[in-house]
Amino acid sequence: MRKTKLFNMRQTRVLLIALGISLLALAALGLTRPVAASPAPSSAPVMENATCLSCHDIADITKTLPSGESLVLTIDAGHFNDSVHKNLACTDCHSNISTFPHPDLKAQSLREVSLQVYTICQNCHLEQYDQTLDSVHQRALAAGNTNAAICTDCHNPHTQTQITDPSTGELLPNAHVQIPMKCARCHSAIYDQYKASVHGSALIGDGNLDVPTCIDCHGVHNIQDPTTATFRIYSPLICSKCHTNPAIMDKYGIPTQVLNTYVADFHGTTVTLFEKTSPDQITNKPVCFDCHGVHNIKLVDDPQYGLAMKENLLAACRKCHPDASTNFPDAWMSHYIPSPTKYPIVYYVNLFYKIFIPTVIGGMLIYVFSDVARRLIERRKGVKHA
Amino acid sequence: MSKKMTNKKSTRPTDKKPSRPTARIPRLYERFHWAQRVAHALLLVSFTTLGLTGLPQKYAITGWAQAMIKLFGGIETTRLIHHVAAGILMLLAIYHTLDIGYKIFVRRSRMSMLPGLLDVKDGIQAFVYNLGLGKRRPQMGRYTFEEKMEYWALVWGTVIMGITGFMMWNPLATVRLLPGEIIPASKAAHGGEALLAVLAIIVWHMYGVHLRRFNKSMWTGKLTEAEMLHEHPLELADIKAGITVRTLDPKTLRKRQTIYYPVGSVLAIAMLLGVYGFVSGEKTAITTVPPISSPVAVYVPQTPTPTPTLPPTPATGAAVLTWDGSLGPLFQAKCGACHGTSVKLAQLSFATYADAIKGGQDGPVILPGDPAGSLLIQKQQAGGHPGQFTVEELELVSQWITAGAQE
């Protein structure tokens, strides 16, 4: 049991000491660190950051909450001054604190502390905050699941560094790499699958920024429930964002015809039609992740899991076609466009009709036109044909 | 659609009383029996339905196709309609086969729909005439070369569509015998053949019986003598010569029927069972959404509760307590802000071991071996000091002092 009495001191002594500390800390820190150099978005801070940090920069100050958990009150000034919020005053967010001792915390547990403060973020980040209102996390929270992620779970406001390039708005490489780790804090089992996947291993192992992180498929703040019919129907368009882009795929020799060939197939046609006509339709027609996996996507030529191994493809087919025989996987052309070497029967059937249809219909048209012409000539001449 | 479902040659002049010639009333010749006309109407409906529901599936990525599919009530409904129409077409094909069998084996009618060299000649002659190089149009019999072409195109098309349709409808059964590639190949053929059939109807059938001259015989069943003379002069001549009606004595007829009816019935049942197997023989796929491979729990937090700020560093618990080992950093962290190098409240600093032992304005705060007498411990035990040690930390400091407050 750890116990502190930081908030239970006798008033007069406290005020005097706090004032003294504040002044001295100001003198010490104010010279070297221009904390309030950039104006905060709101009016002038009630207290200078140095005043707060004179206590809160001390390591390991904690407060025991009624739940028995320890709330760490330390703000590492070094981290804070590296963060995007370095030019904000503590009191811009902690606007309820202007005195010492501070008003009593009403939270019973660590989670309650977070839940009570996170809405402050909307004061500056209204757009992102509004997006979260339309997210699966917010819906879970509204339904009573207090573990659902809120702003501060992903963005520690005291340490959050710059995420995007201010000039381009694009994600910085460092932030890119860290995203899956953020999500892993709650979704660690999925993260473990992702780490071992073709995408995750490239990101985490090689720092490859071409591969998708969680947010590339799930979105950032307005993350939607990925188990809905609509998500399923739209999912091929998520994968094809990158997989039809030659600028990315050419580097790895991955063909970009994967969407075309999928849409041309019975399954893809059906899913595409649902997507266009009734996107909330529940369909059992496979989408990309039914065969390739969700978070555990492997290379197609992976010797153990790859779909280029016929047994693996057959196993994938049998998820929906339990009676499929060994010939069955070839009924799916594996994203190939038929050619004389790949799926030649299909290629030659198509070629046959490409020649046969114009020949037959062309021949018919020639005859019909000749007949029309002859009859017009005869009518003009007044010939009554026999 | 072909207006000739059969090669029936049993056309009889409808006027049974040739003895009463009436110039006013045009003489009519029956061209199609009512059963043939009904079959044609059904074929018209099923073919049109198949085309309307099938071509949008072939061109599914286009806007017009998607609009049509939406109109039909979505792709699932579109496919259902397509399958029902296919079933009707298959039943029509069975009926037609049995009807032909009756005409060939029982009535022994002339097989006037069979194509021959003469039809090729007729076709060439008609074309040459149209080009202005011939003297006259070909004189044709009951079925012109145009009609035969259309009939056999329909037969060919129906067979191709039936076989490829079966393969797509029953892919599992198909690939037990054939390579898997046959499924996409049959889809390609089904689509190609469909396009060919629809275009042929639009070009050949529409022109031949709607545009050139609207031929109503497939609905009325009759042609006038002028029409017969114009389009089927050789048949008209045969009728006039009385050689088209082949009379059959009732005994022979009955004898042949007693053979054909059982054989035909068995054939009919076999073919109907075939159709039944076609449409319901295979449960190709599960009807539920496929399961996720290697599913994992969604919410698996790395820490029991997501922490709002930096996690605390674990309390030091070193076996040998020294200033350099554990106490120095602790003092610097807890006390350094006020009692450090830059700020020395009460002239007390914990920046170095020497500073700590030296004490502040009230003298030493650490008495090695005597924690109770050390001002540091007294202040801290009172509680509420801004740099307050936790209970565990204070215990640690006490132990260190007890042990001699070593460097």
- What count of Cα atoms within 13 Å lies in the side-chain half-sphere of residue B273? 6
pLDDT digits (tens, 9 = 90+) for A270-283: 999 999 888 888 99
Interface test with A, best of B82, B284, B299 (most A CBs within 10 A): B299
Q: Measured between CA atoms, how close is B282 to chain A, in angstroms?
A: 10
Sort out which chain B residues have CB atoms less than 8 A from A121's CB and list them: none
Measure CB to CB from residue A320 to each of B182, B196, B286 and give the nearest one: B286
Helix (H, G, I), strand (E, B) or coil at A279: coil
Smallest CA-to-CA distance from A145 within B309, B298, B310 is with B298
The DSSP 8-state label assigned to residue B14 in this structure reads: S
Instruction: State whether residue A196 sits within 8 Å of chain B by CB.
Output: no
Rounded to an integer, what distance in angstroms lies between the CA atom of residue B127 and that of residue B125?
5
Q: Measured between CA atoms, how close is B35 to chain A, in angstroms?
A: 30
| CB environment B300-313: b (16+ within 10 A), e (fewer) | eeeeeebbbbbebe
Residues forming CATH 1.20.950.20 domain(s) in chain B: 28-280
Q: Quick one: angle between helices A266-277 and B75-101, nearest 10? A: 130
Do the Cβ atoms of B300 and A284 come within 8 Å? no
Measure CB to CB from residue A331 to each of B61, B180, B292 and give the nearest one: B180
Q: How far is CA B55 from the centre of its chain?
A: 13
With respect to CATH, is domain B28-280 assigned 3.90.105.10?
no
pLDDT attached to residue B254 = 93
Do the Cβ atoms of B185 and A147 come within 8 Å? no
pLDDT attached to residue B22 = 47
pLDDT digits (tens, 9 = 90+) for B172-215: 999 999 999 999 999 999 999 999 999 999 999 999 999 988 88
Sort out which chain B residues have CB atoms less than 8 A from A117's CB and list them: 308
Do the Cβ atoms of B301 and A186 come within 8 Å? yes
Rounded to an integer, what distance in angstroms lies between the CA atom of residue A326 and that of residue B329?
68
**SS3 for A91-155, per residue?**
HHHCCCCCCCCCCCCCCCCHHHHHHHHHHHHHHCCHHHHHHHHCCHHHHHHHCCCCCCCCHHHHC
List A residues 126-165 in contact with B (Cβ-Cβ < 8 A).
147, 149, 152-153, 156, 158-159
pLDDT attached to residue A10 = 55
Do the Cβ atoms of A8 and B195 come within 8 Å? no
Q: How many other CB atoms are there within 10 angstroms of residue B362's CB atom?
A: 11
Do you find a cis peptide bond into A344, omega within 30 degrees of 0? Answer: no
Instruction: State whether residue B318 sits within 8 Å of chain A by CB.
Output: no
Smallest CA-to-CA distance from B239 within B81, B47, B30, B24 is with B30
pLDDT digits (tens, 9 = 90+) for A276-321: 888 888 999 999 999 999 999 999 988 888 998 889 999 999 999 9
Do the Cβ atoms of A28 and B342 come within 8 Å? yes
pLDDT attached to residue B294 = 76
Do the Cβ atoms of B312 and A192 come within 8 Å? no
For residue A376, give both structure tokens.
């017009």
CB contact at 8 A, A95 and A171:
no
What stretches of chain A show up as alpha helix (H) in DSSP?
11-32, 49-56, 77-82, 90-93, 110-117, 126-133, 136-142, 151-154, 173-184, 188-196, 198-206, 214-218, 229-243, 246-249, 258-264, 266-277, 288-292, 310-318, 344-381
Q: What's the one-letter identity of residue A74?
A: T
Instruction: Calculate what percentage of chain B has a pLDDT beyond 70.
Output: 89
pLDDT digits (tens, 9 = 90+) for B10-50: 444 444 444 444 455 668 898 999 999 999 999 999 999 99
Do the Cβ atoms of A346 and B66 come within 8 Å? no
Do the Cβ atoms of A110 and B182 come within 8 Å? no
List B residues 131-170 in contact with A (Cβ-Cβ < 8 A).
131-132, 136-137, 168
Instruction: State whether residue B313 sits within 8 Å of chain A by CB.
Output: yes
Of residues A43 and A174, more confidence is placed in A174
Mean pLDDT of chain B: 85
Q: Where is average pLDDT lowest: A133-142, A263-272, A340-349, B379-388?
A: B379-388
- What count of Cα atoms within 13 Å lies in the side-chain half-sphere of residue B237? 8
Instruction: State whether residue B304 sits within 8 Å of chain A by CB.
Output: no
* pLDDT above 60 for B371: yes
**What does the pLDDT average to over A205-209?**
88
In Å, the largest CA–CA distance within chain B is 153
Mean pLDDT of chain A: 86
CB contact at 8 A, A171 and A164:
yes
CB contact at 8 A, B32 and B221:
yes
**What does the pLDDT average to over A65-76?**
88
**What does the pLDDT average to over B275-293?**
87
Rounded to an integer, what distance in angstroms lies between the CA atom of residue B7 and that of residue B104?
9
Sort out which chain B residues have CB atoms less than 8 A from A323's CB and list them: 172, 283
pLDDT digits (tens, 9 = 90+) for B127-173: 999 999 988 889 999 999 999 999 999 999 999 999 999 999 999 99
Smallest CA-to-CA distance from A136 within A226, A262, A68 is with A226
Measure CB to CB from residue A274 to each of B57, B75, B287 and give the nearest one: B75
Instruction: State whether residue B288 sits within 8 Å of chain A by CB.
Output: yes
Q: What is the pTM of this model?
A: 0.75
How is chain A split into domains, by residue range? Answer: 171-222, 224-337, 344-386
CB contact at 8 A, B11 and B29:
yes
